[in-house]
Every structure is written in C-alpha cells, then in structure tokens.
Chain A
Amino acid sequence: MSSSALFTSPRAARGMTLIEVMISFAILVVGLVSIFAILNAGFRSHKRAVNETEASILADSLLSEMRSEFAHGTVPTSDRPGSFHENADFPLYKYSRQIVALEPARKGVNQVMADRSYFTRVEVRWSDQGDDKSISVDTVMFCNRK
C-alpha cells in the first residue's frame, strides 16, 4: 500500500484515455508528415538543380556545335517550334534549336553585321515526374560568310 502510494499520484491514477493517446498520435503524425513534406520539397529542388546542370552542359555543347556551323558559313537548320530531338549523350533530355536572322531594324546598324547576325535559341527539355521542365539559352551569333 505504501509503495503504491509512492508511485501513484492522484492525477496519474486515472491513466490516459484512448482518446488522449490517439490525439497525441495524431499530432505526432501531423508533425512527421510535415517534416517529410519539407524533405520531399528539398529532394525535388535538389533534383531540379541536378537536371539543370546537366541540361546546361548539353545546351553549351549544342551552342558550340552551332558556332562551328556558323564558322563554316552555314546556317544551322531551325527546328519547328515544339519539335524536339534526342541526344545520344544525354538520353533523358530533348532539345530544340531556333535560328532567326536578325533584321537591321534601326538606322545606324552596320548593314553587313546585321545581315550576318542570327538570333539563336537552344531549348532543352526534360520530364520530372510527369512535369515538363525546360531551360533555354539565347544568344546572337555571327555567320562567317554570307
């Protein structure tokens, strides 16, 4: 009797009801779920960063190839908007190239330079859990000869 009196306070003697236990678990679950949601968001942004690194390496590569075509005096063929190519080195990514001749719109623009200037855009697209993600790099390139 006296030993049970040592370990049992009048408040605790009642014990916790099932409802209390379940409420506390519910709070625990809500907490855990929100922690995992944050972690998951972290993963996704990390994955996106990785994808963008790889896509930018591919875009750099494609721009380099285009520069060499311009240096030979040939204008690379422009892809139809929305049509994408595969690349053997980067199987997860597709790319599209747009080349538009710049027009000397303003006075004072060097006619020769303007005739040789091309607006170029490389768009790299990939799929992330069903969502389409993409980056695009725009630049102006000069063609070696007309």
Chain B
Amino acid sequence: MKLKNANPFTLSAPNARRCTAGFQPARVLTIPFRNQSRRRPRGLTLVEVMITMVIFVTLAASTILAVKEVVTQWSLGERRRVAYEKAAGCIDIVSSDIRLAMSHEPAGVTDIKAKFIADFDPETYQQRLMFVRTFESGPERAITFNAGDGIDNQMMFKSAASDGAQAPSPLNVMDGSEFTGLKVGDFKALGGMAMIGYFVKDQILYRVIRAPVPDRMAALLQPQNGQILATDVLHLGFEYWGQYTQQWEEPPARSKIIGPERLWDSTRSLTVGPLKNFRMHRGEDSADDKDDDVFPEKVRLTITVDSPLPRCVFTKLTDDIGESSGGEILVDSTRSFPEGGDESSYILIDDEWMHFSKKTSESFFIDRRGARGTKAVGHAVNATIRIGKTFRRVVYLPNWRDDWSIDADWRARKEAQRTKPRTLTK
C-alpha cells in the first residue's frame, strides 16, 4: 500500500460527507509501516508452536503434580505439628501435677482423707484422676494462697461483751478493739494444697483445680468446673505402677504376672463404684487410718490427640455393625491408617475403641471390641472412624507409698493400736 499523503493523519472524506450536520467527521489513524509490503510477518511455525506446547504441558503437569504433593505434605505436616504440640503441652502439665502429688499432709492438716483417687466416669466409662498436690511456687500459687483454709473462722472476732453474748456482725465491727487479728494463714489453703482433677468429656480434656481441697472430689469433675486443656483428645489413659505391678504391658489372661493398676484409692476404704475392686482395698475402717494409705510409684500416661475434623485422618463406615460383631468391618478407605497389629493400632468409632490386626484398602480386621475401657456398642453406617496420634509418658512420684501392712511387725503394731480402747471420743 502506497500512501498518497505524506501526513500520516488523514481525514476520511467519504465518511465525513455521509454524516449529518452537527457531527464532526471521525478521524482515522493510520500509521505507515515501511516493512510490511516487502516482508510478510513471520510468527512461529506450526512445529515450533507444537514443540513449545509439548514442553509447556509437560512442565505444567509436573509443576501441578509437585505443587499438589507439596500441599498434601504440608497439610499432613501441619496436622502432625498441631497434634504434637497439643500432646506435648498436655503431657507437660499433667506430669508436673502428678509429680507433686501429695501423700503426707503437712503438720496440722488433718481433714483430707482421699488424696489420690483414680476411677472411671460412670457416664462415659473414661478414666479420670483426682489427687491433691501442693503449690509452693509457680503461677498457680495464687489459687492456694487466697483460697482460705476451708475452716470457719468463728474466733476471728471477739465480742467486747461478756462471754455468751451475741458477737456483733463482722461487717459492723472493723475497729481495733473488736478485731482479734486475722492470721495470714486464714487466707491460705492449708498446706498450700489444691485438688487437681483430670477427665475427658466429648473429646475435650479438662483440668479441675480447687482449693481448699473439697470433701467430695468426684462431684467437681464436671465441665463447668474445669479449664479446657485441649480439644480433640480421643483418649486419656492412666496406668499406675503399684506395689504388685511387675510390668507395664497387660499380661495375658490367666497369667500370674501382674500388670499395671487402672484403679487407685489411696484410702483403701471406698466402696463406691469400681473402687471396691482396687487390688489393695481393705475395708471401710481403713478410711481414718492414714498410715496405710498407698500411692503409686509411677504413672504411665497415654494420650491420643488429633487435629479437628475434617482436617485429620478419618474414614466412614459403609455398613452397620452390631454390638459384638468382630472380624472384618467395611469402610470408605483405609488410606493413611497404620497397617495394624501393634500397640498403636486402635481406631475410634463414635465412642468405642477397637483394636485391629490388619487392614485392606477398604476394611479393617477387628480383633478386640470395646478396647481402652470403652463399651462395645452398635454403630450405624457413616459413623466416623478416627485414629489420632498416641503418646506415652511415664511419670515418677517421689512421694509414692507402698502398703506397709505386709510387714508383719508393722501389722502387729497397727493391730494393737486398733484393738486398744480409745479414750478420746468426739
């Protein structure tokens, strides 16, 4: 195309003529291209484009795959990190509490009878633990320091009137002549002690701390009294190394080897619930006898934690299962679950733990129903199956006490004390 006009900005005349009056004619911008007529624009050839496309597709596909893998690994790692941090935090708190469990009250404290009780929640069948510990320092000292001693302070105000007169209300007599003085100890829980309780409800781990130490510990183990330590705690188990324990592992049935205890009653006198089956149970008259109290030497803590649903390893039942049906159970997929057959091969369906011996891609082979102290019940299709991550930690109690009554001399001395007529009566 040859340009007639040297000026690149040309007015398109025919368009201008066709326009009605009042409209300016449109300006068309044309730019001269010197090369265009001589040489055709040379883009990529078909072969080049195809090679480029092939390289691009290959690279893009591998990039997408790699990114996908990275994201999967990342989220897996993130879940694991959440679980590990949660477990490590809980284990730290529980073990530091247990380590300071108290077996002997300080002088002057006589009111605390039950000091270390481990039993099962009657509703959830989960293990729970309550015990008394001391706080000599640390952030929770304030709880024991301001708790009061739990004893009525009737002697705090002395009436100026003669003996027998009604003491004035404490609110009206804060002047020096009436006020007999308040001991610092009146604010402080006796012995700086507090009750600590641990229990799991609806997969939430609660810790209860109460000072002064209450009479009825078990009644306090309710969510409204507790502080939440962690959520998605699938299992919390305590095993106690008592005097007769020989190994941590559960011995086979009808074996003479004695495994760890799962119940503990330091008073050896409680007859409620399962505690009467405590191995060292003695009878009700042991309640007032502090000398025969027993405390475990070691506690093995088992905690199974998980990330919240649905960001955790889980699957669903594809068929109903009955109360006692064992064998193969069918699920959506067993991806990311362990192979089975070892100490960590427990799965949680609703609230029931089961142990499995092996797995296929879509089923588990169950060899134990109602494991970890849970109750075997039926489960409907689509019930969620979880596994979590299990941690174990052994905590040693420096204050442990064995049962001294197996010592013949000691028993004879106690028996003499017991049969001796008491002179002091209430």
Contacts and interface: CB of A to CB of B under 8 A. Distances in A.
A5 interface: yes
Interface in A45-61: 46-47, 49-50, 53-54, 57, 60-61
Chain B residues touching A, range = 35 or more
Given A8-B41, A15-B44, A64-B396, A43 B77 contact: yes
A39 interface: yes
Nearest to A13: B41
Contacts of A17: 48
A53 B392 CA distance: 12
B101 to A, nearest CB: 14
Contacts of B66: 32, 36
A39 to B, nearest CB: 6
Chain A residues touching B, range = 35 or more
Given A25-B59, A61-B394, A50 B298 contact: no
27 contacts: A4-B41, A5-B36, A10-B33, A10-B35, A13-B35, A13-B41, A15-B42, A15-B44, A17-B48, A21-B48, A36-B66, A36-B70, A43-B74, A49-B81, A50-B77, A50-B80, A53-B85, A57-B391, A60-B393, A61-B392, A61-B394, A62-B394, A64-B393, A64-B394, A64-B395, A88-B343, A89-B392
B91 interface: yes
A144 B279 CA distance: 27
Which 10 pairs across A and B sit closest by C-beta, in order of nearness? Answer: A13-B41, A89-B392, A64-B396, A15-B43, A61-B394, A68-B396, A67-B396, A64-B394, A15-B44, A53-B84
B1 interface: yes
Most chain B Cβ neighbours within 10 Å, of A10, A21, A64, A71: A64
Given A5-B33, A57-B91, A68-B298, A25 B43 contact: no
A50 B83 CA distance: 10
A91 B391 CA distance: 12
B396 A18 contact: no
B44 A16 contact: yes
Interface of A: 1-2, 4-5, 8, 10, 13-18, 21-22, 25, 28-29, 32, 36, 39, 43, 46-47, 49-50, 53-54, 57, 60-62, 64-65, 67-68, 71, 88-91
A22 B52 CA distance: 8
Interface of B: 1, 30-31, 33, 35-36, 41-44, 48, 51-52, 55-56, 59, 63, 66, 70, 73-74, 77, 80-81, 84-85, 87-88, 91, 95, 241, 249, 297-298, 342-344, 391-396, 398
Question: Per DSSP, are chain A's interface residues mostly helix, strand or loop, or mixed?
Answer: helix
Given A53-B84, A65-B394, A2 B55 contact: no
A53 B87 CA distance: 10
Given A32-B66, A65-B396, 7 more contacts: A43-B77, A50-B80, A57-B87, A57-B91, A71-B297, A71-B398, A91-B344
Contact of B84 (A4, A29, A54): A54
A2 B30 contact: yes
A47 B392 contact: no
A54 B74 CA distance: 19
A14 B42 contact: yes
B153 to A, nearest CB: 40
A62 B41 CA distance: 79
Contacts of A36: 66, 70
Contacts of B343: 88-89, 91
Contacts of B31: 5
A37 B120 CA distance: 51
Given A16-B44, A61-B393, A50 B81 contact: yes
Nearest to A53: B84
Contacts of A62: 394
B70 A18 contact: no
B396 A71 contact: yes
Nearest to A61: B394
Contacts of A91: 342-344
